[in-house]
Chains A and B, each alone.
Chain A
Amino acid sequence: MSSSEEKKKKKKDKKKEQEQEEVTEESKKKYLFDRYGFLLPPEEEIDEKKEQKKRKKEIESIDLWREMIDNWKKFSKNNKLLKKRIYAGIPDRYRGIAWRLITGSDLLQKAKEGEVEYGDLHISNENPESESVIVKDINRTFPDHENYKSGDEQKRLYRVLKAWSIYDQEVGYCQGMAFIAGLLLFYMEEQEAFWTFVVLMKDFHMSALFREGFPLLQQQLFQWDKVLKKYATKLYKHFQNENIMPSMYASSWFLTIFARVLPFPLVLRIWDIYLYEGMIFIFRISLAILKVNQKKLLSLPFEEIVLYFKDIETKIGDWEKLLKSAGSFNISYKLIEKWADEWCLQNQK
């Protein structure tokens, strides 16, 4: 290489280096994550004061929750206190263990020890059909999250879903499930997440949500329409006039328990309560979301309503207020059950 060529090369290298530096600076500026590891939009900075206040509150509740978790048997019987504390939000540090205790997945995991090996499930080749669907969904689950950009986390998610598709081959994997397992994996070890997933599918009947034909989803959409008719009659009528069907906006609400729909910190709070109260709370929070937006929705025609729902995460206002009002809606258990029976009767023929 001649000296002039060498110079040129050096110049080029230097330029490259500079460019690279600029790129890293740029990416530092661009990529901010919130405390849960979600990518923040460039203009949105963390409100430090608000965050500090939240942290202070959380530190206080950490002591309370530590005591509860250490004495779960005793506290789990005190429904009033438990409910109050769950509604106030489970501290992040104890969320994983609390979710396992509330759902009873810790007991199931123990009970299945020696009978079903998680490690055998996720390496099995018995359900190749589900497997190819899972693989295509892995990097499309919480794509804005720091964790799920990495291969290791994606592998964990893959293994839990794969294990489920072997554990229950009849239901197998269905799109939407990845958001549920992904959410659990934020707070649990792989095996714990798997057994909690199993409890959700079995005891919380979520497998009927995802089963061929989506029988439970159909039923819940029917029930939801009745809830709307009874508790938000004006909106119900407006939606009827505009041909808005619940399936157009609420399918992903119910299939992922809002995991794919609302801002992550709010999703966690909803899950805290959902795991304790069950589906009735999802009807309540859905109603609260509609009530907050009732005035606006009543003024919109078909097309704008559907688009409005698409963007619902930006339209829920103060989360605490929303959760509070959801808790205060007195949707009747009896009616919910009656509507379920009605649906079953209609569809038995």
Chain B
Amino acid sequence: MTWVGQRVARKEDLPLVTGTGTYVPDFNLPGTLEVAFVRSPFAHARITSIDTAEALAAEGVVAIFTGPDIRDKVHALVLDQEAAPPGLETAEPEIHPATIEILADGEVRHVGQAVVAVVADSRYHAEDAVDLVRIEYKELPAALDPEQARLPGAPIVFDNVPNNVQARYRIRVGDAAAALDAAEHRLAMTIRSQRIMAAPMETRGVLASTVGEETTVWSSTQIPWAVRNSIAGAIGVPQRQIRVQIAHMGGGFGQKVNVYPEEVLITYISRVLKCPVRWVEDRVENMIASGHARDQLHHVEAAFDAEGHITAVRDRFVLDSGVACPYPLSSAYNVASHFRSMYRIPNFAIDAECVLTHKMFNLPYRGAGRPEAAFVMDRVINAVAQELSLDPADVIRRNLIPDEEQPYRMRMPYRDGHEVVYDASGFPAAFDRLLELIGYEEHRRTQAQLRAQGVHRGIGLGTYVEGTGVGPFESGQLQVDSQGHVVIYSGCAPHGQGLDTTMSQVVADAFGITPADVVFRAGDTALLPYGVGTFASRSVVTAGAAIIESSNRLLTRIKAIAGEMLEMAPEDLEVGGGRVSVHGVPSRGVSFKEVYRAASPGPGARLPEGMDAGAAESFYWVPPTVTWGFGVVGAVVDVDPETGVVDVKKLVMLHDCGRVINPLIVEGQIEGGLVQGIGATLYEHVVYDESGQPRATTFLDYLLPTSAEVPEIVQEHLEGTPSDRNPLGVKGVGESGPISPPAAIANAIIDALSPLKIQLNELPLSPATVAAAIERAGG
């Protein structure tokens, strides 16, 4: 039986469905103190005084920490995780490290910034005391509009970032300026992807417990190793004294891919007080003090001929960083490297700036720059069609990269410094299949008739490419244990992706056992000396490669040991069913348990001459560059032209993610991603008012899609192109779902109202936005 490719139900489910999982809030360490924060009520202000006396005297309060209290003891996080790699020089990147303060000291820079930490015997008592902390502020002018914030005279967020421009880059491919000047037709658009947030169902949470010199930190994070390194650096202790582990984790989607002030501070407090200390973020805190995302304003121009062939695109955009954009090469540079999608556009220019403002910081969120890029590109394609009175499907098809030009070179570097070269093919066939599946021709035949009956139905289309499996590396170690199981140690940090199951399928095939015989452990800095984490559609590619390479090494090792035991040459042995045996003579063999004992150090060892003891092998996999998935998405919508209400009837997605290990899990990733895309398109919006106050601070204001908003979803895995850039032939899939819905749904609404020739260039497409567009068009 081969496990890879099967719809295997997940190994990780039983504790989760029975409510016996252990998320950070569920730990029950005796004597745990709970922390609540006083947070800034102002976007920008000077702190003139802090009085904690009354709070300190309140029932249950153990300690209180302010910015001045920890000055010189706990350093701000200076996140320089994305220093530009060699190969990226042509993009002329200028990146200032992002500063993230642990507790405000003298000045607050966004609403929600942590100012004072109250430690008490219960969360109730900690929150009581929060109300008793007296802080006086002097309000200061705030930078809130990124286009204004970069101009001279604007309030400065951090003194080390001149003009608030924290990062910038530029890309030039061909000569877009000349092509625009020479163009038969051209258009210009302003397109905005609004500020949204990942909103995982579990908020963040940190629990730190100190014994002697060592602190164990359980954090709801996607990057345990980086969290460990940053904590150690910020509080000035060796990394070995900090162990960071993930517990069960209620989603992340990029919001937990940063090191946060609370992770540092809770660790520090636990080391000061020598007891377990926990902070569990509440939802309001999550909405104002966990990373936001997107928030890009694009000014784009396109040149095209009378048939709709696009000859040049020139884009300038500003990303509203808030107080930091810790990953400018993801949030902003991904825009450039994914902008031209599946299209053959010879001339391309883009200028990007990440600008600091007095808002919460901006992190990559599922898709990370790709949804923003796809929204601009596929709105442009649609506008070209509208301008020329052509069918949008025809314009898309005319611009697709033909198979004979694959592997297509985009003539610009990826963010890892290597040139973007697609390792995929079949764009036109995938697009034709989308039109067939969605019933495009029939729609064109029946649309006018439906409209006459009062049904305003539209179909909109979108395309995407996705560089997946980004480095820098991932780690894996495999061992046979005393029970005869095969144990995986992985540097990834799963939080819903089903990596236990997926990786167990891979290892089960390698060793001829079942996934149940495989033990999977990950997300713990004590397991492996180096590791990275789970984000950016990377784990199946990078962790998978590290695991399969470790498997191969371990198979060689256990065959050599079994050969010694059986007095046979290793090449005459085979592995299967938890045994190593002689080819064709299954009765003549040794079990994994016996191999484990033979591999142990000391007198019982039966090792080949020169082999050291142990039944484990490890591998660090460094990808040559990313591997490219792609896909096409179609949306069917009905629009009420009176109210602007949009009813998404159907989403169809075809995608290539290379070799599929578990179709059930891949389908779940696509469905979940598409529905997040619906939320980002129609409902979700982090709104700040003109004084920098966040207006969406509950799920009553920040609207997530519920089951009632879910349309019919049709998906097909393309027969695609197994990657030759990793040993499993896989491509990442986690982020693909939300990339195209904004463009596809916007284009579908425009199609539903095609006689009006409306434009929809600003997300979210709320009823008010759609109604206003209709009104502007004279409808």
A, B in one complex = no
- Residues of B at the A interface (CB closer than 8 Å) are none
- Residues of A at the B interface (CB closer than 8 Å) are none
